[in-house]
Amino acid sequence: MITLIRNEFYKQKREWSFLFLLLLSLLPVLTGGAGAIFNNSTKTLADLFFFMNNQFAMFFPMVLFILVGFLFYQEYKNKTYINWITYGYSKRKLFLTKVSVALIIGVLFAAILLLLFICLIFALKVTGKVSADIPELLTVSVGFLLEAAIIIPVTVCAGAIIINLSRNIIISSVIGVIYGFASCFFIGSEIGFVVPNGFAYRVAMYFSDRTSYYDNPIRATIGGCVISLLIFAILLSVGVILFTHKRKIES
């Protein structure tokens, strides 16, 4: 499995598409930073995190959909699918390899975004454009990491299913955009914890503003965690089953 993951990264080393996806994933911080720099008023850390997290909740799922879609689509586009599945490894391992690579890259993108956000806060603090302290920054960072830990695996598995059903990166990308926007509809709902991305957003915002969490926090937290794990397990299982099933392209 490690060898397959290493080989997968080796295949991607000359792909500039990942740079575009990285820049897209950094948009929340870049736009938020630009707004803070050109705004004469002093912002709080909570204000900037609120703006960044709203954008992250919408754009990052789109990035993940395109990312995992591109990893699988390469085999269809380059007509290497048949050769790829006859390497001598099970199709289950090949599927999990692509998903694992997407997860690793997704985590790296999220980590880079968080580091950029931290650097932005320090830069704005030096110029007097933001009021923040280190404990507060560490607190919101924990919230963001928890949010990413929920969004990334669920979205990657969903994206893997769509690309292998459609075998079309355009269709997969369009559905990813719809998925990103649709996820935001559940952010403000009291039953939004049944949707992993909506639940992840509220978890992150809790670390910035506790009043933004659910009215029934125990039900929402337990329900959100259980449902998110269940949905992840279901999506992963469905993805494996669909991919291992013989299709016309293999005949």
pLDDT digits (tens, 9 = 90+) for 170-213: 999 999 999 988 888 888 888 889 999 999 999 999 999 888 89
Q: Give residue 2's pLDDT band: very low, low, confident or very high (50, 70, 90).
A: confident
What tens digit of pLDDT does each residue of 9-34 get? 887 777 778 888 899 899 888 887 77
Q: Give residue 250's pLDDT band: very low, low, confident or very high (50, 70, 90).
A: low
Q: Give residue 88's pLDDT band: very low, low, confident or very high (50, 70, 90).
A: confident
Contact yes or no for 205/53 (Cβ under 8 A): yes
- pLDDT over 60 at 103, yes or no: yes
The pTM of this model reads 0.91
Query: What is the model's pLDDT at position 251?
Result: 47
Give mean pLDDT, residues 73-99. 84
Query: What is the model's pLDDT at position 82?
Result: 78
Q: Give residue 131's pLDDT band: very low, low, confident or very high (50, 70, 90).
A: confident
128: left (phi over 0), alpha (psi -120 to 50) or beta: left
Sign of CA dihedral 190, 63, 29, 207: positive
Which SS3 state, helix, strand or coil, does residue 191 take?
Answer: coil
Q: Which residue has the tokens 């979205």?
A: 155
Out of 38-52, 80-94, 158-172, the most confident range is: 158-172
Query: What is the model's pLDDT at position 232?
Result: 97
- pLDDT over 50 at 60, yes or no: yes
Contact yes or no for 32/48 (Cβ under 8 A): yes
Compute the distance between CA of residue 226 and CA of residue 233 in angstroms, rounded to an integer.
11
Give mean pLDDT, residues 102-123. 93
Q: Give residue 247's pLDDT band: very low, low, confident or very high (50, 70, 90).
A: low
- pLDDT over 70 at 41, yes or no: no
| Surface-to-core class of residue 86, CB atoms within 10 Å of its CB (0-12 exposed, 13-18 middle, 19+ buried) | exposed
